[in-house]
Chain A
Amino acid sequence: MKKIEISKQLPVAMLVVLIIIGAQLSDSFFRVSNFANIIQYAVESAFIGIGMTFVLIVGGIDLSIGSVLAFASVVSAKMALENVSLPLILLAVIAIGLTCGVVNGLLITKFRIEPFMATLAMMMIMRAATFLFTGGGPLTGTVYDGFKQIIKGKLFGVQNGIWYVAAAFLVAALILNRTRFGRHVYAVGGGEETAKLFGVNAEGVKIAVYMISALLAALSGLLIAARIGIGEPRSGQSYEMTAITICVIGGISMAGGKGGIVGTFVGTMVVCMINNLMNLMNINTDAQPIVTGVMILVTSLIVSREVTSKRRLLVKEI
């Protein structure tokens, strides 16, 4: 007999409940435009959520994404203000992301610093670098229209943001489920020693994962700059919490080796829908972190209970 795993049903159940609540609360909720709106604003969340998914599955954590995002954001804004062409901006953003990711990855693998500490230091350093870059305040001026079109534009009548979200999830699912690299991310997260024994290049996999995370954060930074049209050094603060929330709600285990992109998608939708609902209900934005915080705690407590009870160890855990 198979026991029902609450943790597996939880994300979808939450999504359903939210949709029902949304429909009750507001007439505008069920409109296609509202959903399009939710997704349009979910781009950054989706990106960093996907990045964090890779990192969590491999058994790590990346607290630096908010700062990497901010740095990429101000750099791209600065370039846009000086009319640098789009491909060059994109190149710079990608370079920033990959570099930060490599540094995180090396600190964690070669120097054996705990991921949380390494990325915490990285978070401070990149935030400071961001402020240094702008000199403190935001970078303002007029960015050229093409830059704004990155996010404001449409393709085949559909907003770019929706395309980005769709593409990001599809590519991430393909990588994670259907490539050797993706499978090795799971293997390293689920049993690093075994994976190494079988010849998996665990360090390489880890470095690559942090590169993916930082790259997606940097791309989010570009999108934010395009959205707001200025270089705001304060952007991206607490984004690591958003990403963790998405993953935890989506059933991705903080212990590594478990969870999938579908979970991340549901998690992203849940988080963005909660925000959307709270806005529709005119709930103070300051209260939103309280709601998401409680949600993380409750969800992870449920999952942790289930994991413990499943282990059926003789010796009680401390």
Chain B
Amino acid sequence: MATLKSILPKAFSKKRLTIWGKEYKNEIAIALLIVVIFFVSQFLSPVFLTPNNLLNLLRQTAYTAIAAIGMYFVILIGGIDLSIGATVQIVGMVSIIMMVRGVPVGVMIPVVLAVGLTVGLVNGLIVTYGRLQPFVVTLVTKQIMQGIVLVTTGGASISGDVPDAFMKIGAGYIGFVPVPVVVMAILVAAAFFVMKKTTFGRRLYITGSNQTAAHYSGTNVRRIKVMAYILCALFATVSGLLSVARIGAFQPTTTHGGATGMELNAIAAVVVGGASLAGGKGSVIGTLLGALLYGILSNLFPLIGVTSYIQQLIQGFIILMAVLISSKGKLFGKKRKEVGKDG
């Protein structure tokens, strides 16, 4: 033991490791869980561990993971965005309509990103300046956007000539890695850097932790919050573009309202990754791992014959478990107190 200690550099000292382990215990737990699933899966399904399936799994994960990173920013500041599924729909519709009408991809992408940015801006402004609860605001904007999609398309799918260049984004590879996975990797790395190394990332954390204190120490809390909603919508936009590029057509979901699909997957990934809905807690890596775990389960379940309804059921329970775990430790909840009242 003594020799081991002397070999290990200072960075791996026992103290450092315990601190590190405490700080990242969520991430480590999920990573271990993933390893266990990998190990067990080879007995359950011969297909699961094949390179092809793993690449496919990564590609499936990429869409959720990208949206989840966006959601992570919003959850970090103590908000929520239930409108990302509808944002993906709007984005998909706009991009396909533009391409079918012959708008070049180079023009279409900036326009679509601008659409996403506007959605985020509207969400953020209403939440901060209108002082409304984020989940109400985003539930309503979701409903409105879905209405817009249904009115525009009449509920029918749109297809037509989509440039090959665009389809390459969704279906292509760089080396042997699918393009969406590369995009995911880049975005995750960028988010990781922003959160670790920039003042903006720090301000997201402290705003989520205690917005009054952040305000009192010189952070423009409203701007930070609006930025988080914008980022969330932009990440959803990218995710939407990637999935449209895979299919090459647009299919509106026939139901409106409710919170289903995309946003729930993203929220689940973030919460499973260790974030707290109260804000100020969670990491990019945790979110990525959460999305990965999620992707693995939804890849594995059909392979071992679990029906989609049971999957949905399990998904609900996973969210519940994750929230249960994250709500522990703050058993006394947060009391809202009006401060600074003078007369």
- Which B residues from 83 to 113 make CB contacts under 8 A with A? none
B340 touches A313 (CB 8 A): yes
B119 within 8 A of A: no
Q: CB-CB < 8 A to A136: which residues of B? A: 309
A296 touches B140 (CB 8 A): yes
* Chain B 203-216 per-residue mask, 1 if CB under 8 angstroms from chain A, else 0: 00000000110010
- Checking B256, B333, B338, B341 against A286 with a beta-carbon cut-off of 8 angstroms, the contacting residue is B256
Q: How far is the CA of A120 from the CA of B121 in the complex (A)?
A: 25
- Which A residues from 88 to 142 make CB contacts under 8 A with B? 107, 111-114, 116-118, 120-125, 127-129, 131-132, 136
A11-19, A170-178, A203-211, A238-246: which lies at the B interface?
A: A238-246
B258 touches A66 (CB 8 A): yes
Interface centre among B132, B154, B309, B341, by most chain A C-beta atoms within 10 angstroms, is B309
* Chain B 308-327 per-residue mask, 1 if CB under 8 angstroms from chain A, else 0: 01101101110110011001
Q: How far is the CA of A107 from the CA of B212 in the complex (A)?
A: 29
A288 within 8 A of B: yes
Q: CB-CB < 8 A to B132: which residues of A? A: 254, 297, 300-301, 304
Q: CB-CB < 8 A to B136: which residues of A? A: 244, 254, 296, 300
- Checking B146, B333, B342 against A289 with a beta-carbon cut-off of 8 angstroms, the contacting residue is B146
Q: CB-CB < 8 A to A61: which residues of B? A: 135
- Checking B151, B319, B335 against A120 with a beta-carbon cut-off of 8 angstroms, the contacting residue is B319
Q: How far is the CA of A118 from the CA of B323 in the complex (A)?
A: 8
Across the interface, name the chain A residue whose C-beta is closest to B135.
A116
Chain B, interface residues (CB within 8 Å), range: 35 or more
A132 touches B327 (CB 8 A): no
A284 touches B151 (CB 8 A): yes
A297 touches B131 (CB 8 A): no
B contact patch SS: helix
B331 touches A112 (CB 8 A): yes
A117 touches B340 (CB 8 A): no
The smallest beta-carbon distance between A244 and chain B, in angstroms, is: 7
| Total contacting residues, chain A, CB less than 8 A | 54
* Chain A 289-302 per-residue mask, 1 if CB under 8 angstroms from chain B, else 0: 11011101100110
B133 within 8 A of A: yes
Q: CB-CB < 8 A to A297: which residues of B? A: 126, 130, 132, 137, 140
Q: How far is the CA of A284 from the CA of B256 in the complex (A)?
A: 14
B222 within 8 A of A: yes
A318 touches B317 (CB 8 A): no
The smallest beta-carbon distance between A68 and chain B, in angstroms, is: 13
Q: How far is the CA of A293 from the CA of B137 in the complex (A)?
A: 9
The smallest beta-carbon distance between A163 and chain B, in angstroms, is: 29
Q: CB-CB < 8 A to A292: which residues of B? A: 143
A4 within 8 A of B: no
A40 within 8 A of B: no
Q: CB-CB < 8 A to A318: which residues of B? A: 211-212, 215, 221-222
- Checking A244, A293, A301 against B147 with a beta-carbon cut-off of 8 angstroms, the contacting residue is A293
Q: CB-CB < 8 A to A121: which residues of B? A: 316-317, 319-320, 323
The smallest beta-carbon distance between B343 and chain A, in angstroms, is: 7
A287 within 8 A of B: yes
Could you list 17 further interchain pairs (A-B, Cβ under 8 angstroms) beyond the known A125-B317, A289-B256, A315-B342? A112-B327, A116-B135, A120-B259, A123-B259, A124-B264, A125-B313, A125-B316, A127-B260, A239-B257, A286-B256, A290-B147, A293-B144, A296-B140, A301-B126, A308-B131, A317-B131, A318-B215
A interface residues, Cβ below 8 angstroms from B: 61, 63, 66, 107, 111-114, 116-118, 120-125, 127-129, 131-132, 136, 193, 234, 237-242, 244, 254, 284, 286-290, 292-294, 296-297, 300-301, 304, 308, 311, 313-315, 317-318
B interface residues, Cβ below 8 angstroms from A: 80, 126, 130-133, 135-137, 139-141, 143-144, 146-148, 150-151, 154-155, 211-212, 215, 221-222, 255-260, 264, 277, 307, 309-310, 312-313, 315-317, 319-320, 323-324, 327, 330-331, 333, 335, 338-343
Q: Offer 5 A-B interface pairs, CB within 8 angstroms, sorted by A.
A: A113-B320, A132-B310, A286-B147, A287-B151, A290-B147
